Amino acid sequence: MPIVKLYADLRKLAGAKELSITGATLGAVLNGLVKQNPALDGTIFEDGRVRQHFVITINGHNVSDLDTSVTDQDIVAIFPPIAGGTSPLTPLLKGEGN
């Protein structure tokens, strides 16, 4: 299974720094991540697409295509936006929202 590494507020929401998630494509892995961690529902995806300003890498290479293949040896890293202002994750961390 690919390893998914979470950063910043995503770690707090999932309660883990990294997880093994089954999936043959990036989209399947991300959907599996959300299914396994309901607290992430609505944080990574918006209208069926990865939220704006999230950076996702596979083995250190930026990826945006959800149909990108992943293997059991791959490392998927998810970086939410962390620059100044309020993070879109703030209401979820405070127990508001979904």
Q: What are the extents of the domains in the chain?
A: 3-93
- Torsion angles phi and psi, residue 9, rounded to 5: -65, -25
CA distance 1 to 23: 7
Look at residue 96 and tell me whether its pLDDT is greater than 70: no
Architecture of domain 3-93: Roll (3.10)
CA distance 72 to 42: 26
What is the reported pLDDT for 69?
Answer: 97
Per-residue pLDDT tens over the stretch 24-57:
999 999 999 999 998 888 888 888 888 888 999 9
Segment holding 34, helix H or strand E:
helix 26-36
21, 33 in Cβ contact below 8 A? yes
Mean pLDDT (the chain) is: 87
